[in-house]
Amino acid sequence: MWTLDELLERVSAALTAEYSGAPNGRVRDVPDRRAVRWYATTGLVDRPSAMRGRTALYEKRHLLQLVAVKRLQSQGRALAEIQAELAGATDTTLAAIARVPDGLLESAEEPPPEAVRPRFWAEPVAAPATTSPAPAAALNGVALGGGAVVLVPGTPTAADLADIAAAAQPLLDLLAARGLLNERESS
């Protein structure tokens, strides 16, 4: 299978041999992307064989159809006549008209299989993990006076309490100066 651009490269290569182009000059020698899509819409060429996401994929029959259309156009035939002649044509008939070299009809490699999306809605819901968060360290309040309290993790010793009170004295003085301490508890 080929993408549209790959298909058009093969059409161009196939038409380099034995192709004089359209006699009136109004028709392109090689179809462009838009023309191929229009041919598929009107039924002159089969619709893409498959889709890979939003990319259309084409096969050997599409190559035969496009080259056959261009060869018949080079004879001065109108698209309506060509469509009537090629409607329901077998690959053998198309190959006889198109005369595509065998090397262009083969795919270089098989396309990778399309990834199958998991059906998330059809599978049972997994049980939530039973791991519990680590317990938070216990906080203890150390009263500084004037209603101020400092929270510390763990349990402070008597020596810790004395050191905390000494270190907090400048903070208590600032809070008192700004009137942020409870005066009844300051003494």
Provide the CB-side half-sphere exposure for 9 (13 A, CA). 8
Whether the pLDDT of residue 44 is over 80: the answer is: yes
From 102, 87, 86, 107, select the one nearest 14 (Cα to Cα): 102
Task: Answer yes or no: are the C-beta atoms of 60 and 94 closer than 8 Å.
Answer: no
Q: Which amino acid, 62? A: H
Q: In this predicted model, what pLDDT tens digit does every residue of 61-73 receive, in sequence order?
A: 999 999 999 999 8
What average pLDDT does the segment 151-177 reach? Answer: 90
Residue 1 has which token pair?
Answer: 């299978």
Region 48-76 average pLDDT: 92
Q: What is the 3-state secondary structure (H, E, C) of the chain?
A: CECHHHHHHHHHHHHCCCCCCCCCCCCCCCCCHHHHHHHHHHCCCCCCCEEECCEEEECHHHHHHHHHHHHHHHCCCCHHHHHHHHCCCCHHHHHHHHCCCHHHHCCCCCCCCCCCCCCHHHCCCCCCCCCCCCCCCCEEEEEEECCEEEEEECCCCHHHHHHHHHHHHHHHHHHHHCCCCCHHHCC
Residue owning tokens 């498959």: 50
Task: Look at residue 103 in the predicted model and tell me its pLDDT.
Answer: 80
Residues 66, 31: contact at Cβ < 8 Å?
A: yes
pLDDT band at 187, cuts 50/70/90? very low
* Separation between Cα atoms, residue 82 and residue 68, nearest integer Å: 9
Tens of pLDDT, residues 114-155: 556 666 666 777 777 666 666 667 788 888 888 899 988 888
Give residue 116's pLDDT.
Answer: 63
